[in-house]
A = this chain, B = another copy of it.
Amino acid sequence: MDNLADILELDDANGPPQERMLQILSEACRLFATRGFEGTSMRDIAAECGVSKATLYHYFPDKDAIVRPLVMGTTKAIYGQVSARIDPAAPAVERLRQFMVETATFFERHRWAWIAAASVFWNDPQARRRRQRIEWRDRYEALLRDILRDAIERGEFRPVDPSLAGRLVLSTLNWLPRWYDPSGPLSAAEIAEQFHAMIVQGFKPPRGRGAG
């Protein structure tokens, strides 16, 4: 089960998260992630949780009420967890490594919630919530671009375009939850570690060696 209690953004109306509520959210995000938001009904969620539809409706009036804490929660939590684990005194190249490894670790812990949130994002009917989500997402992406800009200023990186370089780094991370195999030989963090080394060093051999 996902560590959902750490990351949920519950409405005050929901009250403190209860075990049953967390179970519902956890099963729902696995269903949303694998069948899509539109492909999952309240009936499916109730069946998967082994509860009656009446019990389900006691906690959540509709699918939107289930998905809202997931979407806002994952977006705020990834910013909070990643930014808290970056050492501001470290060289920029090391901060980039921390950003990548912590993002991958977050994806590994909250894989279903993340895929569910990403796949429902465009279906979220609440535009205000969507704007809020974009603000938190922008904050997370700014974290990365600041590291890249700093790395270029200090001469740790070549003068690459920070915005496009940021897209490259985010792409390697954002695609990870879709192909990553939790039973494979490498953890998500180890993959991020290797991606970091590849991106920083490049594929070319060091000068003076090879045909490059």
Residues of A bordering B, CB below 8 Å: 34-39, 91, 93, 119, 122-123, 151, 154-158, 160-161, 164-165, 167-168, 170-172, 174-176, 179, 186, 191, 194-195, 198-207, 209-212
Contact = CB atoms under 8 A, between A and B. Distances in A.
A167 to B, nearest CB: 7
A87 to B, nearest CB: 17
15 contacts: A35-B122, A36-B119, A37-B39, A38-B38, A151-B203, A156-B210, A156-B211, A157-B203, A157-B205, A158-B205, A164-B195, A167-B175, A167-B191, A171-B172, A200-B203
B161 A194 contact: yes
A183 to B, nearest CB: 16
B155 A211 contact: yes
Contacts of A194: 161, 164
A165 to B, nearest CB: 6
A30 to B, nearest CB: 13
A123 B38 CA distance: 12
* 7 smallest beta-carbon distances between A and B, as pairs: A202-B202, A38-B39, A155-B210, A38-B38, A171-B175, A157-B203, A171-B172
Say how many copies of this protein the assembly contains. Answer: 2
Contact of A211 (B91, B179, B207): B91
A157 B125 CA distance: 48
Nearest to A173: B171
A35 B201 CA distance: 40
Given A119-B119, A175-B175, A199-B203, 11 more contacts: A36-B37, A37-B38, A93-B204, A151-B203, A156-B204, A158-B204, A160-B198, A171-B174, A200-B204, A200-B212, A206-B207
